[in-house]
Chains A and B, each alone.
Chain A
Amino acid sequence: MNFDFSDDQKSLKDEARRFLADKAGAKVTRRVLDDAAVSYDDGLWRAVAEMGWLGAAIPEEHGGLGLGRLELCVLAEELGRAVAPIPFSSTVYFFAEALMLAGSDAQKAAVLPKVAAGEVIGCFALSEGPGAPSASSIQAKFDGATLNGVKIPVTDGDCASHAVVVAKEGAGISLVLVDLNQAGVTRTTLKTLDPTRGHAKLEFKNAKAERIGAAGQGWDLAEAVLDRAAVLLAFEQVGGSQACLEMATAYAKERYAFSRQIGSFQAIKHKLADMYVSIEVARSNAYYGAWALSTEAAEMPFAAAASRVAASDAYYLCAKENIQTHGGMGFTWDVDCHLFFRRAKLLAVQAGAPAVWKEKLVKRLEQRNAA
């Protein structure tokens, strides 16, 4: 039994934490929050690219570090803890994973080295409107060469240079790769609950596009991309949850009410203990997801859904109770609690909301039992 990260992976995590403590954190996140014209922090993005993190899981032949998905999980947890205001998840967990999963050798050779170098910012365009999308609800249309339709919202769609888009092709669904810097693409920046990450509406009018993977296989591929992203997002969520717990714990030790530390009241203790339990449940499920992702185990769909359900629930609980523990101060713009509360909701709904993943989890239990 070795259900833990290796010493090397733990060193990477320590290194990432030190690096982000220096280069990221609330100050950097707030630069993006407070400036509507800025959709991500370019300095942090460049620094992360220089560290090689964008290519951590990209093979060396394509310009990456050729590390595994476990290393990526470790980085994800630290980026989540730092509420990093960069398009890392869109580029790495969605865009690059989609290419590595289904791209042709030529597509991988053309795009992945640029991802690793930080020259390409990627995004994943699935949603087209209110409610969970399905294979039958997708309206965007690919005709073998050009793409038409509307995607809203697209996380990091305002700053991305490329997108992987889920679109109809004939009677089926395909994944297509689109260069967003072309005449056929119109972007409209969206106002969202989490302004520390950019969001856009993308409109495609006869935009040049190329298919990734086989025609008609797009929905299954999209599900597979979402599963991979679910595990990596779960680590971001665990990192954010842990940061909330630590913040609330520190405040409960220093804040006095009724002439005693508020952390000495059982009402606060039990709240924080509940947060701790939710994180342990989320972390344990996420580790299982990490194992399944890194070994390409048959258990991956089940493990990914369990990771995501547990992590979304934990982050919501920890983010809201962090505000509650801080009292009135926690409801101010200047205290960082709301950065986590906002990010918790973005991470919970992008790639499918908790209810969607709970349904997937039960369906996958049924499939597993039927197999």
Chain B
Amino acid sequence: MDFNDTTEEAKFRAEARAFLEANLTPKSSDKERLQRKLTPAEYLKAAKAYQAKKAENGFAGITWAKEQGGRGLPPIYSVIFNQEEAKFDAPSAPFSIGLGMCVPTVIAFADEATKDRYVAKALRGDEIWCQLFSEPGAGSDVAASKTKAVRDGDDWVINGQKVWTTGAQFSDFGIVLVRTNPDVEKHKGLTMFIVDMKQAGVDVRPIHQASGGRDFNEVYFTDVRVPDKNRLGDPGQGWGVALVTLMNERLAVGGSYGPDYKEIFEFAKGINAPSGDGPLIQDEAFRQKLADWIVRAEGYKLAKFRTMTALSKGQTPGPESSIGKVINANQMMDIGNTAIEALDHYGIINDGDLAPLEGAFHQSYMFAPGLRIAGGTDEILKNIIAERVLGLPQDVRVDKGVAFKDLPSGR
């Protein structure tokens, strides 16, 4: 047992570190504040420039095959780069879904001409991609998608609505899961397409979140024409294509967000305990909770080291990585909530100039409910652990053997 890189890994890490130092500034709260002051357009420009530099220097598509412009390295190298990149203020967010989920799906299912058209530009950051799966009536049950595509000559015509689409407002292309045959079973009538997000009939509207921000969108499709050559997989095979995309999602959404035990530990030194007798950090009830947070945060971090070890040995991690988001989202909620309550009446103030950590605990409190839902709800992730890791049977299915158009769908 050791925590050291292999010689090759250490060499790569040093190379990554040198690249990042030459192109980015290390993380600090001041810098982060500046980052937030960039306009969305400025941020996007910086992100595209950074992505182009990554591509030039061989840090884009680290695990992708060389013929796709990648570096053909095992997944461990991608993890190493991400670890190093996380120490910097890297404007990489606009590309995470496209390069993490959408374009790998394109590579897996598209013909050579289509790949030639899209892959390199995506890798260089010239074009940004989004993923259009969820619908108002198809969240956890995403295979219940109703947005439909009807064949018309060499084209398909799409009508319907997608929701919770990250980055749709600045995306050039998306992969969209649509119903092409309502007369067969739910999972058998879906097809996946590449869609041009800038064309007429695609209407992107930001969602005003409960947390106040606007990080996601609704996307309406009205008579949007897609050429048949943009189809990924055969008609009716869309669910299998979607599973390939979703396999990557749980890995993508597993990171930790917001203040964790180290931050609330520092915070507790300067707050009065409920007893009024000394600081909160001396309060026994608080210390017991803090210990629980430590073991969960450390456990999650160390579980990732075990995953890295498996990757380093060339093994593929399975659905067990689903545990990360279940742990993190709930811990984020709990820590935000505890910090706010510890502030007593003052805890209601979330003005960044007045609240501790510029309001980060309040942000956790308001964003954690969304994180418990995004990218697979706690409940769906637990189903995945139960069914795919522990091998428990599927729930009784009322949609087996019934045409999609005949399924009850509520309102």
Contact = CB atoms under 8 A, between A and B. Distances in A.
A310 B320 CA distance: 18
Contacts of A282: 299
A252 B138 CA distance: 29
Contact of A3 (B265, B290, B309, B383): B309
A310 B298 CA distance: 10
Contact of A264 (B298, B389, B394): B394
Contacts of A313: 292, 295
A281 interface: yes
A270 interface: yes
Interface in B321-364: 323, 326-327
Contacts of B141: none
Contact of B299 (A3, A280, A355): A280
Contacts of B2: 1-3, 291
Interface string A1-16: 1111110000000000
Contacts of A269: 382-383, 386-387, 392
Given A285-B302, A288-B302, A1 B9 contact: yes
B3 A3 contact: yes
B392 A272 contact: yes
B320 A280 contact: yes
A58 interface: no
A270 B386 contact: yes
B393 A273 contact: no
Interface string A58-95: 00000000000010000000000000000000000000
A306 B298 contact: yes
Interface in B271-324: 281, 284, 287-288, 290-292, 294-296, 298-303, 305-306, 308-310, 312, 320, 323
B297 to A, nearest CB: 10
A290 B411 CA distance: 55
Given A268-B392, A361-B291, A365-B294, A1 B386 contact: no
B295 A281 contact: yes
B22 interface: no
A322 to B, nearest CB: 13
Contacts of B76: 1
A249 interface: yes
Nearest to A359: B287
A288 B392 contact: no
Contacts of B386: 263, 268-270, 272-273
Given A249-B392, A310-B299, A266 B383 contact: yes
B396 interface: yes
Interface residues of B, number: 49
B352 to A, nearest CB: 26
Given A2-B312, A270-B386, A253 B299 contact: no
A284 interface: yes
B288 A358 contact: yes
A203 interface: no
A110 interface: no
A131 to B, nearest CB: 14
Interface in A1-50: 1-6
Nearest to A263: B392
B78 to A, nearest CB: 13
Contacts of B382: 266, 269-270, 273-274
A3 B302 contact: yes
Interface string A323-354: 00000000000000000000000000000000
Nearest to B287: A362
B5 interface: yes
Which bracket fits the contact residues of A? 35 or more
Contacts of B398: none
Contact of A70 (B1, B9, B379): B1
A284 B302 contact: yes
B44 interface: no
B391 interface: yes
B395 interface: yes
Given A3-B302, A264-B392, A359-B284, A281 B3 contact: no
A281 B396 CA distance: 31
A357 B9 CA distance: 37
B41 interface: no
A287 interface: yes
Contact of A5 (B1, B265, B294, B296): B1
Contacts of A2: 1-4, 309, 312
Given A284-B303, A288-B298, A362-B291, A276 B383 contact: no
Contacts of A283: 303
A145 interface: no
B363 to A, nearest CB: 24
Given A1-B3, A291-B1, A359-B288, A310 B295 contact: yes
Contacts of A287: 1, 302, 306
> Which of A249, A263, A269, A305 has the most chain B CB within a 10 Å cutoff?
A269
B113 interface: no
Interface in B1-60: 1-5, 9
Interface in A251-305: 252-253, 260-261, 263-266, 268-270, 272-274, 276-277, 280-285, 287-288, 290-291, 294-295, 305
Given A273-B385, A290-B1, A249 B390 contact: yes
Nearest to A311: B295
Given A285-B295, A365-B294, A277 B309 contact: no
Contacts of B310: 4
Given A253-B391, A263-B393, A4 B288 contact: no
A23 B210 CA distance: 59
A277 B323 contact: yes
A252 B390 CA distance: 10
Contacts of A362: 287, 290-291, 294
A35 B385 CA distance: 40
A248 B310 CA distance: 27
A359 B282 CA distance: 10
B327 A281 contact: yes
A310 to B, nearest CB: 4
Given A269-B387, A272-B386, A280 B1 contact: no
A261 B298 CA distance: 36
A3 B1 contact: yes
Given A280-B303, A362-B290, 19 more contacts: A1-B2, A2-B3, A2-B309, A6-B1, A253-B392, A260-B393, A263-B392, A264-B392, A269-B383, A285-B295, A285-B302, A287-B306, A290-B1, A295-B1, A306-B298, A357-B291, A358-B288, A358-B292, A365-B290
14 contacts: A1-B3, A1-B305, A2-B3, A3-B1, A3-B306, A269-B386, A273-B382, A277-B323, A281-B299, A284-B299, A291-B2, A306-B298, A355-B288, A358-B288
Return the 7 tightest CB-CB contacts between A and B, nearest first. A281-B299, A358-B291, A269-B386, A284-B302, A273-B382, A263-B392, A3-B305
Interface of A: 1-6, 70, 245, 249, 252-253, 260-261, 263-266, 268-270, 272-274, 276-277, 280-285, 287-288, 290-291, 294-295, 305-306, 309-310, 313, 355, 357-359, 361-362, 365-366, 369
